[in-house]
Structures are given as structure tokens and as C-alpha cells.
Amino acid sequence: MSIKRWRRAAGTTATSLLAATAMVGMSAFGIAKAEETFKIGVVTFLSGGAAESFGVPAWNGGKLMIDMLNKGGVLPAPYDKKGFGGMTIEAIPVDEAGGATKQVQEFRNLVQREKVDAVLGYVSSGDCLAIPPVADELKAFTILYDCGTPRVFEEGSYNYVFRTASHAAMDNISLAKYMKSRGIKADTFAGINQDYAWGQDSWADFVASMSNLSPASKKKTALFPKIFAGQYGTEISALIREKADVVHSSLWGGDLQAFVLQAGPRGLFERSQVALAAGDHVIPQLGNKMPDGVIIGARGMNGLAAKPKATPLTNVLWEAYEKEHKTFPVQAPFRMWQGLLGLKTAVEKAMAANGGKKPNDEELAAAMKGLEWEAPSGKIRMVLGGGHQAIQPNAIGTTKWDKDSDKMTLVDIEYYAAECVNPPDGTKAVDWIKAGFPGAKCE
């Protein structure tokens, strides 16, 4: 080899080495950067009928909490550590509007293109039933944070999917218990619920609970108007004509607002005791148009029902939310918060077990299974569905307009322990209700 060729070869080798070193360096830098962030896809309704009631307040609460966590030291212990285990949280919001088929595609995009570390989302029960099989197929750690259908884990079993909020049976069981314990006259009861899974299931759970707790109580008309119907004049006539002692409803959003606006002037609230399974979220919009004396649930110890039992964690979030959005947080942000705090707890538990590395999907799933953590809505425990489905305490109260503060308040609030209004693991909610709530632990 001549000196010239040797020099050329040496030069080429050096260049290659330099390039390789640079590439290795860049690659190492890339891993380091990835280690610093934890990407989550947040899927909720940002448009459509459920946006204003559930999706937007939830995302408002989510953004607020993610900012607080990323700053670090804002929330009280054990949530004072920055981000998730020191990693900055990067959220990618996705609109849930468009139906289950679209959401399955969006889910695949989040997992395969965006390479998110976890997906947290889904208000619609239809989406909550469509996503879990795909999540397991892709082995993608997924949290269902809001939807209510009990069928997700009662009829299915998934390795990578968890739900951090109680399913809907709790809401209607609690309503029936509230009426019995408060001695509310309920010799007859009627219902108006939307004609889809949520409305039908809510009514079925309420009827079963009433049959069990107040066997003498007689069921009257059950109305199922179309979702987003908006016009309830005829239904209100039918309810008034029935003269039922109690009118049950799981209406939500604009439908519930329209129902209250139309039923109020026609005297339905004076003639019957109206009980709204998930009615708290319309209070900020309706204000004093929501009549006094309406029994209201919030799908957990959420919203106004959380305030009397507020912890320092609740207070920090409540005040920050109120300051930023000029209204108090209703149930939707509470469920988003408990989902995010559950995810943070699982990530940090998994990191403690793997030596501080960013956990993979399997490590996250192992950490989340059977997890317990404190949320603004009380203690959340993953005890149903083999450790994949949460139970949480619930609260029911009665509306009362406070003239001094010019705000709606909840009075006569009754709190229910999670084991009092949720079935034990392995038992379907409807079977548990029909069997007379065996094993219920009520304080």
C-alpha cells in the first residue's frame, strides 16, 4: 500500500469513525431525550354533543394538572415529584368525535405513529367497548378514564386495559339508597332516559335497585327519547299525567339542560321528586334555573359533593380550575384527574421496580393491576375485573340555591363507601343488585 493510498484509507476510516461516533452520540442523545418525556394520547370529546359537558371540562382539567405536574412541587405529596417519575409529560389531545371505527384508527395512529407511552381516554361507552381488543392486540397500555358501561370488564378480559373510574351501576344504586335512607316518598316511580346503552342500563339498574330496596314501590312509565332530541314537551306531559312520586333520569348535557328548562315552568319538579343520576355537570350552565330540591349524583364523589370532604389535593386543583375557567370543576375534570394521578402512580411504581427506567407497556400494566391511590374524588382502588376496573366512593345530594353567595349548593349530601355501591370482583352489577347486594360494606 502506497503512502498516498494509506493516507486516503486512513482518512476514510477516520471520517467513518467520526460519523459513526456522531451517529452513536445522536442516537444516545435521542434515547436520553425520549427518557425525559412521557407521551400520552388524551382522547376525549373536543367537539359534538358531549364536548361541552364532558370532553372540554375534562381536557381543561387535564391540561391544568399536566402543567402542575410538569412544574413539580405544586400538588401535595405524594404527587409533588415532577411529571411522571421526573419525566416531562407530553400530551397529544385527540377528538373523540366520529364514532368507534374512527376512534380505533385514531388509537392505532397514537400507538404506531405517535409512539405514545400510554393512551388515556374515552367518554363514550361505544368507544370503550371498541378500543380494548385493539389495545391488547397492539400491547398498548390504555386507561379508560370516563365511560360508564359495566360491560367492558364484566364481559371481557384484557391485559393492557384499565378503567380508573367506577362503572355506572354505582350511580343508580346510590340514588335508590339515598331515597330510602332519606325517607323520600317513592310509592311510584317513572323515568326518562336517552334511548341508547347509557340510558337503558341506567334505568335497568335503578329499577332493579328500587325493586330490591323498596319492594312496594311501583314502576310507572319509562320514556326513552332519542339522544339530542331537545324537545320534551310531550314527555313532560306524560310524566306529569303519571303522577309518579319519583322521576328518575340519566339525561346529560344539552338534553338535560333542555329538559330542566322545559319541565321547570310546567311544574314537574313540584309534582314529583326528580332524581338525576349524573346531573351535577349542568349546574354551572343552568345556575338558578336548576330548581331546589332536585336529587343529584355526580358519578363519584365529584364536583360540589367533593367540596365538603376536600383534601389539600382537592383544594389546590379546585382553586386553580376555578381561577382559570371561572367556574367550579364538575364531574368530568375529576375523572380526568383520577386517571392522570393513577397513571402517575403506576409509572412511578413501575420505575421503582425497574431501576428508574421509563417503564414499558408490560411494566405499566403490572404496576397498574390492583393499584390504589388518592384522588380528589377519594380513594381509587383497582379491585374489579381482576384488578383492571376501579371502584370509588360515591355521593348524592340535593340542590339548594344559596341567595347569599348567588350560587347553587348541594345539601343533605350522603356519602357511600365504594364497597357499599359497587359489586365484588367476579359478580356482574345487575346480578349483585338482584341478589340484594350481598357482601356490601356500608358505613
78: preceding bond cis by omega (within 30 degrees): yes
Nearest to 65 by CA among 356, 283, 302, 324: 324
- Give me the torsion for CA of 44, 48, 54, 56, rounded to 10°: 70
**CA 366 – CA 360 distance, rounded (Å):** 10
Nearest to 299 by CA among 368, 208, 383, 202: 202
Q: Which is nearer to other proteins, 7 or 243 (CB)?
A: 243
Task: Please state at what angle helix 100-108 crosses helix 125-138, rounded to 10 degrees.
Answer: 30
Q: Does 15 bind other proteins (CB under 8 A)?
A: no
Q: In the bound complex, what is the minimum distance in angstroms from residue 171's beta carbon to other proteins?
A: 22
Q: Does 234 bind other proteins (CB under 8 A)?
A: yes
Pairing of strands 394-402, 295-297: antiparallel
Residues 143, 377, 210, CA angle at the centre, nearest 5°? 95
Q: Does 16 bind other proteins (CB under 8 A)?
A: no
Which of residues 148, 199, 225, 423 is near other proteins by CB under 8 A?
A: 225
Q: Does 436 bind other proteins (CB under 8 A)?
A: no
Q: Does 238 bind other proteins (CB under 8 A)?
A: yes
Q: In the bound complex, what is the minimum distance in angstroms from residue 106's beta carbon to other proteins?
A: 19
Helix (H) or strand (E) holding 35: helix 3-36
| Range in contact with other proteins (rule: CB under 8 A) among 29-37, 134-142, 215-223, 401-409 | 215-223
**CA 151 – CA 61 distance, rounded (Å):** 27
Which of residues 136, 200, 224, 407 is near other proteins by CB under 8 A?
A: 224
| Range in contact with other proteins (rule: CB under 8 A) among 32-40, 234-242, 372-380, 429-437 | 234-242
Which of residues 226, 357, 434, 441 is near other proteins by CB under 8 A?
A: 226
**CA 304 – CA 38 distance, rounded (Å):** 32
Which of residues 64, 165, 223, 277 is near other proteins by CB under 8 A?
A: 223
Q: In the bound complex, what is the minimum distance in angstroms from residue 275's beta carbon to other proteins?
A: 19
**CA 176 – CA 182 distance, rounded (Å):** 10
Residues 6+ apart with CB under 8 A from 202: 168, 171, 172, 193, 248, 250, 277
Q: In the bound complex, what is the minimum distance in angstroms from residue 375's beta carbon to other proteins?
A: 26
Cell (9 digits) for 113: 405513529
Q: In the bound complex, what is the minimum distance in angstroms from residue 394's beta carbon to other proteins?
A: 26
Phi-psi region of 129 (alpha: psi -120 to 50; beta: other; left: phi over 0): alpha
Q: Does 47 bind other proteins (CB under 8 A)?
A: yes
Q: Which is nearer to other proteins, 235 or 363 (CB)?
A: 235
Q: Which is nearer to other proteins, 7 or 226 (CB)?
A: 226
How many residues sit close enough to other proteins to count as binding (CB under 8 A)? 36
Q: In the bound complex, what is the minimum distance in angstroms from residue 191's beta carbon to other proteins?
A: 10
- Give me the torsion for CA of 107, 373, 415, 383, rounded to 10°: 70
- The footprint of other proteins on residues 72-91 (CB under 8 A) is none
Q: Does 308 bind other proteins (CB under 8 A)?
A: no
Q: Which is nearer to other proteins, 246 or 346 (CB)?
A: 246
| Range in contact with other proteins (rule: CB under 8 A) among 6-14, 49-57, 87-95, 367-375 | 49-57
- The footprint of other proteins on residues 185-204 (CB under 8 A) is 195
Q: In the bound complex, what is the minimum distance in angstroms from residue 235's beta carbon to other proteins?
A: 6
- The footprint of other proteins on residues 257-296 (CB under 8 A) is 257-258, 261-262, 265-267, 285-286, 289
Q: What ranges in 355-425 are assigned the alpha helix state H?
A: 361-368, 418-421
Evaluate whether 249 touches 221 at the Cβ level (below 8 Å).
Answer: no
List contacts with other proteins (CB under 8 A).
Answer: 47-49, 51-52, 56, 195, 221-226, 228-231, 233-235, 237-238, 240-241, 253-254, 257-258, 261-262, 265-267, 285-286, 289
